[in-house]
């Protein structure tokens, strides 16, 4: 007898691994992992983010969040600054270079996703979208 749940788990891990591998961003100047790109996106939408916010969002330890931000700082994609109201707080912001790179990443990811999804018919895309929305909705409750 076939165990559908086990098979689903295996396929979900495969697609997750493939997406991380295929969706990483590389240009002639920088190599960004999927996590680094996601962190840039998070920081772009959360203008007042702290290191703790990043650690909480990604469910990682504070030293890992610091390492992640350090790598982005080294590439001049984000910067740290002191909170004006509480100087003990350090906030992280996306730089102009980071925003430019994010636009390139979004464009490249959109093109990659269109290519990946081109293997599916419109009906299959709609079915997949409905399944994903249902699963997300139920997991968030």
Confidence of residue 28 (pLDDT cuts 50, 70, 90): very low
Question: What percentage of the chain reaches a pLDDT higher than 70?
Answer: 93
CATH number at residue 50: 1.10.10.10
**Segment 30-88, tens digit of pLDDT:** 677 778 888 999 999 998 899 999 999 999 999 999 999 999 999 999 999 988 888 88
**pLDDT reading at 1 higher than 60:** no
Q: Once rounded to an integer, what is the mean pLDDT over residues 100-106?
A: 88
Q: Would you give the distance in Å from CA 76 to the centre of its chain?
A: 18
Higher-pLDDT residue of 103 and 34 is 103
Q: Which residues contact 108 (CB under 8 A, 6 or more apart)?
A: 25
Residues of the domain holding 57: 4-140
Tokens of 15: 């697609």
Number of domains the chain is built from: 1
Rounded Cα–Cα distance for residues 1 and 85 (Å): 62
Pairing between β-strand 90-94 and β-strand 78-82 as defined by DSSP bridges? antiparallel
Q: Per-residue pLDDT for 124 more than 70? A: yes
Higher per-residue pLDDT: 137 or 37 = 137
Mean pLDDT of all residues in 10-39: 78
Q: State the pLDDT at residue 14.
A: 92
């Amino acid at each position: 007898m076939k165990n559908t749940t086990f098979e689903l788990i295996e396929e979900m891990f495969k697609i997750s691994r493939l997406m991380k591998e295929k969706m990483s961003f590389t240009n002639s100047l920088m190599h960004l992992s999927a996590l680094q790109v996601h962190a840039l996106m998070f920081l772009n939408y959360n203008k007042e983010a702290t290191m703790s916010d990043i650690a909480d969002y990604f469910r990682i330890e504070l030293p890992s969040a610091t390492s992640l931000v350090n790598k982005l700082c080294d590439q001049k994609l984000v910067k740290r600054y002191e909170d004006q109201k509480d100087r003990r707080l350090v906030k992280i912001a996306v730089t102009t270079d980071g925003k430019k790179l994010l636009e390139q990443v979004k464009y490249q990811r959109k093109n990659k996703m269109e290519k990946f999804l081109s293997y599916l018919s419109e009906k299959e895309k709609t079915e997949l979208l409905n399944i994903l929305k249902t699963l997300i909705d139920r997991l968030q409750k």
